[in-house]
Structure 1
Amino acid sequence: MRPLTLVAAMTLALCLGQAPLAAQALAHTHGATDTRMPTEGGQAAFAAIAGVVKILEADPSTDWSKVNLERLRLHLRDMDLVALRSAVTASPVVGGATFVVRGTGETVAAIKRMTAAHASMVEMMGGPRMARTELPDGVRLVVTARDSGSEAAIARIRGLGFIGLMASGDHHPMHHLMLARGEAMADHGHR
């Protein structure tokens, strides 16, 4: 659109109470995405699953007989329970911190599954040391820096806290895709 025509179209749209048309006209002139469509898939777990489905559908080598999106859904549910329904107390220890993570009902099992899998993944990737002890209502994690003399590493553990340590690392997207594909990998007890 020519600049004068664009201004006229936007002015007319606004005067007629058609703000979406004005926004659409503006978006088309700047190469923006279609403003009439949402960019998110909705609720976070739904959006994560939708992203995996998009990858699976685009990959001609997807073995649909092995795909198990229910397994991914249950894992995402565990993530939600641990992130939002657990109670965490933190206390500093030499070289890091202790995190006592507790829950009730189904949250207890989610805490145990998530921390077991994550502790082994962190160890495998060379992250901080994690000593995990199961409690009747959750777990105790003692997290210490590999280099006990590194004040920066110790500060990072304490600064991230339990949920930051659980969320850190680039392995989550690949793990989610592997769960959905039905590939052999720690699945936190979901079949």
Structure 2
Amino acid sequence: MNSSDLNRKHRTKLLLGGLGILALLAILYPVFSGMHTAASPGESHQAHADHADGATPGEAGQSAFAAIAEIVALLTADPDTDWSKVDITALRTHLVDMDRLILGASASQQTDGDTVIFQISGEGEVLRAIHAMVPAHARELDKIDDWRVSAEAIPEGAILKVSTENAAEQEKVAALGFFGLMATGSHHQPHHMAMAKGDMMSH
């Protein structure tokens, strides 16, 4: 083999070696880059937010989680919050009851004269949520103009009655149905805040 062939072979080895090093660097770069940018186990949620580029989501998570997060933020921002009375667990229990009632209960309705009658039923924890929430919510609905609202607990659930002499309101009540009625009113948010502050019992 002459010197020209040896030089060519040497240059080929160098070229292949250089390509191998570049390929290795391409593989390792994301690893080392991630070690630099990834959050350490003890890094806070705020640190994650600081690292994020652009807008961050406004929703804190699943609806009950988001509701609790909102209440916690308001309590934290209020210098008059009495932390010795705060009861987030009571609020969480109430939110669980709301979830069970809306997703687990069954409701039928009929109209008798000027009264729309709802029969609500459920079993187990759903039944407990019905007994806890329906009579208490009826008292709030009874504050609405032109409505006369009452509820009673029965072994299988509850009976909710909404009476009105206003034909348009009766049509509205029938259209809302039981689940729409349970979401009617503006008392939920202050009720949740009062509950979290330990100022009142849940319904």
Per the normalisation by structure 2, the TM-score is: 0.70
Q: SS at the partner of 1:90?
A: strand
Q: Which amino acid in structure 1 is aligned with residue 69 of structure 2?
A: A
- Give the structure 1 partner of residue 163 of structure 2: 144
Q: Which amino acid in structure 1 is aligned with residue 186 of structure 2?
A: D
The Cα RMSD (Å) is: 1.5
- 2:144 paired with 1:128: no
- Runs in 1 of length 4+ with deviation above 6 angstroms? none
- Give the structure 1 partner of residue 83 of structure 2: 64
- Give the structure 1 partner of residue 202 of structure 2: 187
Q: Is the 8 A contact 1:96 1:158 kept in 2?
A: no
Task: Tell me, in whole angstroms, the C-alpha distance in 2 between the residues paired with 1:173 and 1:97.
Answer: 27
Task: Tell me, in whole angstroms, the C-alpha distance in 2 between the residues paired with 1:112 and 1:48.
Answer: 23
Task: Tell me, in whole angstroms, the C-alpha distance in 2 between the residues paired with 1:179 and 1:38.
Answer: 27
- Give the structure 1 partner of residue 191 of structure 2: 175
Gaps of 5+ in 1: 1-33
Q: Is the 8 A contact 1:96 1:157 kept in 2?
A: no
Q: SS at the partner of 1:49?
A: helix
Per the normalisation by structure 1, the TM-score is: 0.74
Q: Is the 8 A contact 1:96 1:155 kept in 2?
A: no
Task: Tell me, in whole angstroms, the C-alpha distance in 2 between the residues paired with 1:58 and 1:69.
Answer: 16
Percentage identity across paired residues of the two chains = 40
- Give the structure 2 partner of residue 15 of structure 1: none
Q: Which amino acid in structure 2 is aligned with residue 132 of structure 1?
A: A
Q: What does 1:1-191 correspond to in 2, within 5 Å?
A: 35-126=54-145, 128-145=147-164, 148=165, 150-184=166-200, 186-188=201-203
Task: Tell me, in whole angstroms, the C-alpha distance in 2 between the residues paired with 1:115 and 1:157.
Answer: 16
Q: Which amino acid in structure 2 is aligned with residue 108 of structure 1?
A: L
Which one has a bigger Cα radius of gyration? 2
